[in-house]
Structure 1
Amino acid sequence: MKIKSNALLLLLALIAFNACRKDLVQDTIPSTSNNARTEAIAAAPRTPYVPKFMAYWLPYAGNDDEMALRDIPSSVNVLALFAGGIHPDTGTAALDIGLAISGPRKDWDKIIDTAHLLQAKGTKVILSLFVNDWTKAPANLDYDAFARAVKKRVLDEWKLDGIDLDIEGSPVDANTYKAVNSLAKYFGPSSGTNALLSAVVYETSGYDVLKNTPGVYDFVSTMDYWSVSSGSNQLTFTSIINTGVPAGQVLFGISAEKNFRSTSTAANVQKCVNWNPTQGTKGGIMVFDLGGDYTQGFPITKVITGKPAASGVTFYQDINYGGTASQALAPGNYTLSQLQAKGVANDWASSVKIPAGRKVIMYQHDNFTGTSWTLTADTPNFTSLSPNANDQVSSVKIQ
């Protein structure tokens, strides 16, 4: 994913760090070419699954983009966990999946457990994977064994819904094509399974991979985020469609990262939602860094879905959720100045909407002092609380 901020450097450093850890996820891949090959899956190809709304969640995101995984709105059809790296180039010909998990997001087991909750609500959860190192694969790598190892880890053990390939910048070659085509035996429409295989591409490298791996993807997303305002989207779509991917399987990529907020305005996003290439109707919309949209109150999501996103704690100026609404507040402790930055003025709130599973503790004074009120569900009228909390809230804890 094209990252126009310091997040890219952090991500690469994290993946490199994971590659040196003893507890790195590994599956041994035979390095000899005389092992038995995997038989082709005896299932007929299926129709590609194309979401109307696909998004990426960044577990390493900082305060500007931080979003709890459980706060993903149900309107997201496919969510990609960003990101991992598959490295088929180790001296032992092993498959390494390095996970860019840090800080409060480092517990991969909890991430997987939460992903399963999202799946139960109807969102498909896939793992985004960098393909940068695939050109370095040893000549005798068993690509079928490589693909089986990915399938074992992602589908059988983690029970996710598939994988997304991040193809950008770095050179690609025949090794890359072999790896993708082998993965297509277990993921994507040509596999005949329900496991998804998607890709997000940037210019020449991405187009080369698409051209040499035809018919294996459920959908492909664009990465030219500046085209949201520049109008160069037709050129990008034409380049992808010329590789053999139909217009109806291409998603328009939009970034919610801090550096792109001046471009990804609600007005520009609406133009992208309405726009279609000359070759036909596009597949849908992809949002990179959904947390960036979340911390701003979901302006992009609201345009895509045509309705407010049901996630985050939202305070309202008047009773019955009337008047001005605050931004969606993620879990955390908010002093008065922090509340004001989210649109909650001092002694201002009169009602609140609270997602299931959240607990909100409101305080009468700044720095969590004075009378407190504990809420676990939507509350339309603060005057009904005991004591009366209307126009009394000055700090908040959200758990």
Structure 2
Amino acid sequence: MSTQAFLAYWLGYAEGGPPLEETPEQVTVVALAFAVTAPSPQGDSITLDFLTSKHSEAEMRAGAKALQARGVKVLMSINGTDSWEGHPDGWGNLKPEEFAANVKRIVMDDWGLDGVDLDQEGAAPPGDDFVAVIKALRAALGPDALITTPVFIGPWRDAYLPKVKDDLSMVMTMAYWNDLESAKRLFDQYAALVGPEKMAIGVANSANPGQNTPIDAVPQIAAWNPEGTTKAGVMLWNLNQPSKEETAEWCRMIGDALP
């Protein structure tokens, strides 16, 4: 069994797909996508309306418990876009401590999950407001919770990362269309910000049209390690699509190749 992480997204907003508890055995971390930042009677918080739009909360809770019983870590992925009827301005106007307290209450205390994934994909560089949110989440969730985030635009956009590298558990590239050499170059750019041991490389067989990872690059990416050290692992988008059989094959390829 590899010591590297294999994180995969399971989409509560996607029709069909295998149940959460049927996640292939090679996957070590599952992120449930997506909760959305939103105001609430308790203050800045998250809404689960999008996350539970195609699969019920009861189904996801039961699936998460089944995975955790197998030793799989389960995260809730939180999107901060303001286009999904969530919080105005998304990540940009949250009260960090208030938000973190409500995330802890929902994700950790109520659902009993293992942490959060922060889906921050806006084109503009995240500012100190997002840094404050990450630091508040780490303080509220505790040192053992997982906090992950995907990136892809480039270090110029994500120059904030050195400020929170000690608060993040893992950062995953999501330029899924890259072949091995391109994936390595992007990895190295981000590794300079957070360290190679916290960097994972994302692959996909169900991304937007034209953005899937070349299949021959998948085992190469999984097997590759930066010289003299190790990467954090591999991320897969996603577990629901395009079919149970193809997902199982991709998970097997990745699991077999991870060092």
Structure 1 residues 261 and 147 mapped into 2: Cα distance closer, same or farther (>3 Å)? closer
Unaligned 5+ segments in structure 1 are: 1-49, 308-399
Give the Cα–Cα distance (whole angstroms) in 2 for the partners of residues 131 and 297 of structure 1. 27
Structure 1 residues 146 and 213 mapped into 2: Cα distance closer, same or farther (>3 Å)? same
Q: Say yes or no: does 1:112 pair with 2:65.
A: no
CA shift for structure 1 position 104 = 4.7
The equivalences for 1:205-220 within 5 A come to 207-220=158-171
3-state SS in 1 of match to 2:14:
coil
Residue matched to 1:124: 73
Structure 1 residues 97 and 230 mapped into 2: Cα distance closer, same or farther (>3 Å)? same
3-state SS in 1 of match to 2:77:
strand
Deviation per CA, 1:161-187: give whole Å up to 9, x if none: 110111223432221111111111133
Q: Which amino acid aligns with 2:34?
A: A
Structure 1 residues 262 and 215 mapped into 2: Cα distance closer, same or farther (>3 Å)? closer
RMSD: 2.7
2:196 to 247, 250, 254: 247
The equivalences for 1:124-143 within 5 A come to 124-132=73-81, 133-137=90-94, 141=95, 143=96
CA shift for structure 1 position 101 = 3.7
Give the Cα–Cα distance (whole angstroms) in 2 for the partners of residues 277 and 169 of structure 1. 28
3-state SS in 1 of match to 2:246:
coil
Q: Which amino acid aligns with 1:291?
A: N
Residue matched to 1:185: 139
* TM-score for both structures, normalised by structure 1: 0.55
Show structure 1 runs of 4+ deviating over 6 A.
Answer: none
Structure 1 residues 62 and 113 mapped into 2: Cα distance closer, same or farther (>3 Å)? closer
Residue matched to 1:371: none
Computing the radius of gyration from Cα coordinates, the structure with the larger value is: 1
* TM-score for both structures, normalised by structure 2: 0.82
Unaligned 5+ segments in structure 2 are: 82-89
Q: How many residues align?
A: 243
2:254 to 292, 301, 304: 304
The equivalences for 1:176-325 within 5 A come to 176-187=130-141, 191-192=142-143, 194-204=144-154, 207-227=158-178, 229=179, 231-243=181-193, 245-257=194-206, 259=209, 263-265=213-215, 267-278=216-227, 280-292=229-241, 294-296=244-246, 298-306=248-256
- Higher RCO (C-alpha under 8 Å, 6+ residues apart): 2
Give the Cα–Cα distance (whole angstroms) in 1 for the partners of residues 13 and 187 of structure 2. 30
Give the Cα–Cα distance (whole angstroms) in 2 for the partners of residues 305 and 96 of structure 1. 33
